[in-house]
Amino acid sequence: MERGTRFIRHIYRVLLDLVLPPRCVVCGRVETWLCEACAQRIPLSDRPVCPRCGDAWEGSGVCTRCRTTPLHLASIHSVFVYQDAIRDAIHALKYRGGWEIARPLASRMAEAWRTRRLTSDMLVPVPLHIDREAQRGYNQSQLLAHHLAAQTGLPLAETLLFRIRATASQARLGPRERWSNVKDAFTCVEAHDLSGLCVTLVDDVATTGATLDACAVALLARGARMVSAITLAHAV
């Protein structure tokens, strides 16, 4: 059944590409959703943000939300703001089968990792539910994490964290609903002992931080000393 679903989606994407072929979201060149050269020209985010949740913030220290209801995450680092070309590129990555653009996008994540002098003991991609991954054909966060690990030399734990129940798409929910939607939705493989380790989650977009924080709860319960996150983009 799963193989049949993937085949049908593959045929659908092939037909869709014939009618509306991939076109670079920056320069418009046909045959790719994002040229590697164009990916390098998209400016990294330099807006003032809260050092903990990554939300836009021009005050001193952490933002008002993090002072009153802090995340379990130590920090969220986002490479771009979720707008314009990056928004279009992520849409192609998630919904148009543009898996190949994960590599140039992850290259910019690696650039930000080095520039910001981030450190970690391992990278962990945010998992999709098995049904959603089967429908999409891949997990975009896993692709980003794979390429980021290759470019930074960090260990990658692809099967450490998994989603134990299907959840509604976060994009369709309001801020409060997002938190209840992903509560207790993740767990870790019991064989893994994370005692004393600093773990970094990898995801495509941070909005409220609800999904990342739910993942952090599961990792901390398995003994992780600290959990941070790096995402390709952060909501405006």
Per-residue confidence (pLDDT) for residue 92, from 0 to 100? 93
- Please report which residue ranges of the chain form alpha helices under DSSP H: 2-19, 36-41, 64-68, 84-95, 102-115, 130-136, 140-152, 175-182, 210-221
DSSP 165-222: S----GGGS-HHHHHHHHTT-EEE-TT---TT-EEEEEEEEESSSHHHHHHHHHHHHT
Whose CA is closest to 199, among 188, 183, 209? 188
Per-residue confidence (pLDDT) for residue 169, from 0 to 100? 78
Per-residue confidence (pLDDT) for residue 18, from 0 to 100? 54
Number of other residues whose CB lies within 10 A of the CB of residue 142: 20
For strand 198-206 and strand 122-125, is the pairing parallel, antiparallel, or unpaired? parallel
Q: At 136, is the secondary structure helix, strand, or coil?
A: helix
d(CA 105, CA 116): 17
Per-residue confidence (pLDDT) for residue 2, from 0 to 100? 46
Residues 6 or more apart in contact with residue 19 via CB below 8 angstroms: none
Whose CA is closest to 224, among 62, 76, 119, 73? 73
Question: Which residues lie across from 123 on neighbouring strands?
Answer: 156, 200
Per-residue confidence (pLDDT) for residue 7, from 0 to 100? 53
d(CA 7, CA 92): 19
Question: How high is the mean pLDDT in each 10-residue block of the chain (236 residues)?
Answer: 51 58 90 92 95 95 95 98 96 92 97 97 95 91 98 96 86 81 89 91 96 96 96 96
- For residues 89 and 105, the answer to whether their CB atoms sit within 8 Å is yes
Per-residue confidence (pLDDT) for residue 215, from 0 to 100? 97
d(CA 102, CA 86): 12
d(CA 3, CA 90): 25
Per-residue confidence (pLDDT) for residue 19, from 0 to 100? 60
Domains within the chain, CATH numbers bracketed: 44-234 (3.40.50)
Whole-structure pTM value? 0.90
